[in-house]
Amino acid sequence: MMFSTKAEYGVRVMAHLARNDSDDPISLGAIAEAEGLPLAYLEHLAQRLRRAGLVESRRGAHGGYSLGRAAESITMAEVVEALEGEIAPIECITQSPDGALVCVREGDPGHDPCPTKLLWTRVQGSIVRTLTEMTLADLATPPTRRKQARKPPIQTTETETATA
């Protein structure tokens, strides 16, 4: 399954906002320049993200965008769904109102149960699970910092310090 540039660019915008150390909003122009992305396209994506409550916008000379809530509470599933819509690996698999995945051909007269439904529902489940488990904060922290944050500090004894 390939996600479109909506997801790719939108995730980059969200990660950029999450790395912002200031409380001040960031203009889309600044994000477009820093990320090498087309401003007109980012305006379209920002509208989708704002409608989903993932970003907030402020107008004016010092306006721009900021996260709608803490990066730790924003899952990548929310971001991708706001940008792409329902996450489905293949067009014939959809989600029913009760959350069950169904093949659109099921129940049609003369159609046997779909032989590939198991495959596609597992693929969809894996994608959604990965996107749900990963937060925006995970992307905002570079991998080397995450590894260092998980490692306990090296303890040295007085003898080691004295001989060093």
* pLDDT of 26 higher than 60: yes
Higher-confidence residue of 129 and 116: namely: 129
Tokens (6 digits) for 80: 């991708």
Indicate the pLDDT class of residue 143, thresholds 50, 70 and 90.
low
* pLDDT of 122 higher than 70: yes
Q: Which residues neighbour 124 within 8 Å (Cβ) at sequence distance 6 or greater? A: 87, 88, 89, 93, 101
| Dist. CA 160–CA 158, nearest whole Å | 6
Using alpha carbons only, give the angle 94, 99, 105 rounded to the nearest 5 degrees. Answer: 30
Higher-confidence residue of 89 and 139: namely: 139
Indicate the pLDDT class of residue 1, thresholds 50, 70 and 90.
low
* pLDDT of 161 higher than 60: no
DSSP characters for 10-62?
HHHHHHHHHT--SSS-B-HHHHHHHHT--HHHHHHHHHHHHHTTSEEEE-STT
* pLDDT of 57 higher than 90: yes
Q: Are the C-beta atoms of residues 11 and 37 closer than 8 Å to each other?
A: no
Half-sphere exposure of residue 77, counting CA atoms within 13 Å on the CB side? 15
Burial track 72-85 (b if 16+ CB lie within 10 A, e otherwise): eebbbbbbbbbbee
Residue 109 sits at φ, ψ, to 5 deg, of -60, 135
* CA torsion through residues 130, 132, 146, 31, sign: positive
* pLDDT of 157 higher than 60: no
Which range (39-43, 95-99, 143-147) has the least confidence?
143-147
Q: What pLDDT shows up at residue 109?
A: 67
Domains of the chain: 5-140 (1.10.10.10)
Mean pLDDT, rounded, for 149-156: 55
